[in-house]
């Protein structure tokens, strides 16, 4: 068995981070792909938990070496998804979970193809998403409006995904997500079929 990839996308406020947190707790042999950044580590953060923290020089060298699946420069700092740990965990047969946006999903599809299973998580409607964003009280009105605008744009891309989960009941949505994650391990594209057939035929 080779490893497989589960991509989870969705607008801020959809609950995907909470769902992923529970998925990681309740599923075995899973590796969560942690982004790499050049920004300073903040109080309460931990290396290898929140991000992998490296220098700008190292990040730029990795860009030149083609070591990133995708990367971007935001507010004078670099953020990206390093291929190094992903390839290592796939080689070990792990389910690698990504939390990336629709553009990252497109790039990952081009890179990894059929070993990817993708899920788009959203709310029942735009008003509920806005209500959740406002109620958590961490963003200004301008930021909430921007997040809503981004969500509307992302919704136009859901046909690019394998599954759509409408998170109106957290426990039910989590159950569905875990089922998708378990099923993704058994896709024919995630199995070394030649070796399996060879060993199956040779055994008596």
Do 43 and 115 lie in one domain? The reply is no
Each residue's pLDDT tens digit, 99-147:
888 888 998 999 888 889 999 999 999 999 999 999 888 788 888 898 8
Do 56 and 142 lie in one domain? The reply is no
Average pLDDT for the chain: 89
- Please say which residue of 69, 92, 115 terminates a domain: 92
The range of the structural domain enclosing residue 136 comes to 1-29+94-204
pLDDT at 11 over 50: yes
Do 42 and 1 lie in one domain? The reply is no
Do 171 and 201 lie in one domain? The reply is yes
Q: Averaged over 158-173, what is the pLDDT?
A: 96
Total domains present in the chain: 2
pLDDT at 173 over 70: yes
Do 204 and 159 lie in one domain? The reply is yes
Measured CA to CA in angstroms, residue 4 lies from 87, 93, 98, 145, 191 at distances of: 10, 7, 11, 36, 9
Do 193 and 134 lie in one domain? The reply is yes
Do 80 and 109 lie in one domain? The reply is no
pLDDT at 8 over 90: yes
Q: Averaged over 2-14, what is the pLDDT?
A: 91
- Please say which residue of 44, 63, 92 terminates a domain: 92
CATH of the domain at 45: 3.30.63.10
Each residue's pLDDT tens digit, 56-79:
999 999 999 999 988 888 778 898
Q: Averaged over 198-204, what is the pLDDT?
A: 72
Angle at 69 between CA 25 and CA 155, to 5 degrees: 70
Do 195 and 99 lie in one domain? The reply is yes
Residue with tokens 């931990």: 46
CATH of the domain at 175: 3.40.50.300
Query: In the structure, what pLDDT confidence band is assigned to residue 202 with cuts at 50, 70 and 90?
Result: confident
Each residue's pLDDT tens digit, 37-60:
999 998 888 898 888 999 999 999
Q: Averaged over 168-174, what is the pLDDT?
A: 96
Residue 1: predicted pLDDT? 47
Do 13 and 98 lie in one domain? The reply is yes
Do 165 and 75 lie in one domain? The reply is no
- Please say which residue of 47, 65, 92 terminates a domain: 92
Query: In the structure, what pLDDT confidence band is assigned to residue 175 with cuts at 50, 70 and 90?
Result: very high
Q: What percent of the chain has pLDDT over 70?
A: 96
Do 3 and 47 lie in one domain? The reply is no
């Amino acid at each position: 068995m080779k490893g497989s990839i589960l991509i989870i996308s969705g607008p801020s406020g959809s609950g995907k981070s909470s769902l992923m947190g529970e998925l990681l707790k309740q599923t075995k042999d899973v590796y969560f792909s942690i982004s790499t950044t050049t920004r300073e580590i903040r109080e309460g953060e931990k290396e290898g938990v929140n991000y992998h923290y490296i220098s700008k020089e190292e990040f730029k060298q990795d860009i030149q070496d083609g070591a990133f699946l995708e990367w971007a420069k935001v507010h004078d700092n670099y953020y990206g998804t390093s291929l190094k740990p992903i390839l290592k965990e796939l080689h070990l047969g792990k389910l690698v979970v990504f939390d990336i946006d629709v553009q990252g999903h497109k790039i990952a599809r081009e890179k990894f193809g059929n070993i990817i299973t993708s899920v788009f998580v959203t709310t029942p409607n735009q008003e509920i998403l806005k209500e959740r964003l406002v109620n958590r009280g961490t963003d200004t009105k301008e930021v909430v409006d921007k997040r809503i605008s981004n969500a509307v744009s992302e919704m136009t891309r859901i046909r690019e995904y394998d599954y759509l989960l409408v998170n109106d009941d957290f426990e039910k949505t989590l159950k569905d997500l875990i089922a998708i994650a378990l099923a993704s391990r058994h896709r024919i594209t995630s199995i070394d079929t030649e070796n399996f057939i060879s060993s199956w035929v040779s055994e008596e």
